[in-house]
Amino acid sequence: MTATAAAPAGEDVRRYCVAELAGQWKVDPSTVYRLIYAGRLRAERHGPRRGAIRVTADAVAEYLAEVAA
């Protein structure tokens, strides 16, 4: 999983949790985790310790463009 920088102040970036993406794509959440850990879907962690995994809308768009190509 790759970490990305936080959005600049004032910029609102849409972030999806793994369960949201799994629901939208009609796959099991473990499939989304596999994509993240394999490096095919960029994700970031938010919160203390290891934190919750979030995927930005940009990362989703990049992945879908890669899959469609």
Q: What is the pLDDT of residues 19-44, one digit of tens each?
A: 999 999 999 999 999 999 999 999 99
CA distance 39 to 8: 24
Gap between the Cα atoms of 60 and 67, Å rounded: 11
Please, what is the average pLDDT of the chain? 88
* CATH no., domain 15-68: 1.10.1660
pLDDT at 3 over 70: no
pTM over 0.85: no
List the domain boundaries for the chain: 15-68
